[in-house]
Structure 1
């Protein structure tokens, strides 16, 4: 796997506003601002400069790179999305090799709300029909296609309006024990810090359900994973405490589902350095799913690699059946892990994982295979059963700072 596949997912947030005066013309009455603390900016449309902008929605964005070697990163980011902006460059033919793959990933991750952005319309706009033909029969069929220029900020107000009107706010679960997928983690300490200045590790992600509060105790699974001399895998969950909650630069006392949250903890910062906990699950102590080392999945394979330009014969583009002892890559939530195929029968496969995964039965997964030195999406599946790892139940705080 290329080291580039470990590039962090880039995240940022924005606020969608609308002019309070109903006479303010569309789409100029819509505008996006950064997620600072300013609550009511003034409208900048001529004739409405004295009107306040009304906050409609906070939106968090996960920027998924389009390069083929970063497909695993894209799938990890899609695990927490509730809508998608599929950007297509107007000065290139449609679809490009990765565009079909990204659209398939959107379908695998069960995203129903899609807006297509035809970018670089200041350069060319002659591919609208090609885009419509490309999305026909897919989950994006009927999705709005917005012509934009990111460089010139052309039609960004239209995109803002579509996000507000076309992507509904999902129902949130505030009652269940809190649960969060980690998509980023890092050490905020700088070289030369004194001992009393050192802060614990930070984990970033999206809360799936429940409510986090400052000073709440948390558990991270699988936690610290090691192999003994016999090759047996052991994992020790990390137990810690929340010391801060952030949404962008805004400090919170509690955090609810939706958007991207940064959680400051009492964990040893070396545990969160360089995204080491990405793919793990963070939750209330004693409430997390089991940790699996083997999975039984019901799977479906694509007939062909999605618009991948392969060299040589036509057969190279076809997706062959899973073979016993083959190594594939799985994306489960925000975790990317290798897996060895132990057995295959019809559309059922038993897979031995390279790294243990905290997940649940019924969870959807993406399957990728190494093709010409890159991991290519070949299908998806659903977890039916598996072999779990015994997890120590001793509740201790690791390096509580």
Structure 2
């Protein structure tokens, strides 16, 4: 059931002392870390790019998904120039653990023809001519490891299209190839391009065999007509063809800026260095994407469900209120952000409550204009016939009372304990509350062989 949140009498969790608030809003204090496309700010105020340089904010979010070690992060680097595995554990293990973000500018040479004209360079690498701006995009690099499916699903909620990477030197489909494609279908991502990577590691015969495996796999899914582009991310082979295909197949969606603002938080972090002078610290940063409406610097905002509070031995959620002190997108400061690519919102929030993705799953909007907070859900269910992503072919058994399920709602991942069953629906109590509209789609996973596996989806009933 939806819970009416309590509203604090004044702004909560300010990041700085009153005498330092003026300083915190200056651009020279907005030293955003190189996460979700936020580059370090200059000490002098930046002005948005001129129209000749193209749009400052990326127009579209494109996910990179697929089985572990199939080249998602390498391809992201080839397209954007940024290596998204920067977390210490990611560097040590060589796999993506958190969502990675990077922006890229697609350009087109005015002299070269066809595929050869597409590049991410300001000057055409083939003829040296100046390349014209086409579009700026954000890439969301999702983890491919089976234990990180909740993170992948959270990222999928903000994707407008996706690149499904398939390694040519392995059989297709691998478990998470199948699971990720099903996840894209469940959350409503319609535009998918299959990228047959690592063609440099196989001969022509193996490449064709793998291509036919991909075609057969896709024929059993809603993506049977998806383009298949052979590349080598490692050697930058066919990157121009991939850019051309993205431009033709994944258009910028129509956005509604007149609706009430709603931003999904996919990352949150503290950008202050250890040992910083408390009077010079800046507030926490919220990273994610606006799905409707728009947000501006100086506006008061609300985060729901907010923070879990305990009073008189009772637990409840209290929305968090703060002010936007800066917005960064495409590596630049802007006064306003609209639906489209990833952005970073600088706030007055205490850095300690946003660090290490603590606020991931929250929804941001203007005060009093966000959906309800739910700590219990009734879901109308649509279960799959087979468990997706498991190494063995398993049927999906009916949901049982007392069963623990993983639920992905917007960018939030929570656990629900089933409390009651009905025909094609069930009720559950949530471990972590969520903010969502009635009718919102929820991905449902159950524990199979010590891993949560996708078994279907539900819609929230009021």
Counterpart residue number, 1:127 = 210
- Aligned partner of residue 92 in structure 1, secondary structure: coil
More helix by share: 2
Map 1:1-400 → 2, pairs under 5 A: 7-21=97-111, 24-33=112-121, 41-46=122-127, 49=128, 51-124=129-202, 125=207, 126-228=209-311, 230=313, 232-310=314-392, 317-385=394-462
Cα offsets for 1:31-78 (capped at 9, x unmatched): 125xxxxxxx222223xx2x3211111110111111110111110000
State the distance in 1 between where 2:146 and 2:125 align: 40
- The more displaced of 111-120 and 191-200 is 191-200
* 1:6/1:73 contact within 8 Å kept: no
Please report the TM-score for the alignment, with normalisation by the length of structure 1: 0.88
Please report the TM-score for the alignment, with normalisation by the length of structure 2: 0.77
State the distance in 2 between where 1:121 and 1:379 align: 34
Q: Relative to structure 1, is the Cα distance of residues 6 and 340 closer, same or farther in structure 2, using a 3 angstrom cutoff?
A: farther
* 1:146/1:159 contact within 8 Å kept: yes
Question: Following TM superposition, by how much is the alpha carbon of 1:25 offset from its aligned partner in structure 2, in angstroms?
Answer: 2.5
Q: Relative to structure 1, is the Cα distance of residues 9 and 307 closer, same or farther in structure 2, using a 3 angstrom cutoff?
A: closer
Q: Which has the higher contact order (CA 8 A, sep 6+)?
A: 2
Q: CA RMSD in A?
A: 1.7
* 2:266/2:287 contact within 8 Å kept: yes
* 1:331/1:337 contact within 8 Å kept: yes
* 1:218/1:242 contact within 8 Å kept: yes
Question: Following TM superposition, by how much is the alpha carbon of 1:299 offset from its aligned partner in structure 2, in angstroms?
Answer: 0.7
Number of residue-to-residue matches in the alignment:
365
Cα offsets for 1:327-378 (capped at 9, x unmatched): 1110001111000111112211111111111111111111011111111111
State the distance in 2 between where 1:113 and 1:358 align: 27
State the distance in 2 between where 1:227 and 1:378 align: 34
Unaligned runs of 5+ in 1: 34-40, 386-401
* 1:279/1:333 contact within 8 Å kept: yes
- Aligned partner of residue 147 in structure 2, secondary structure: helix
* 2:96/2:144 contact within 8 Å kept: no
Unaligned runs of 5+ in 2: 1-88
- Aligned partner of residue 165 in structure 1, secondary structure: helix
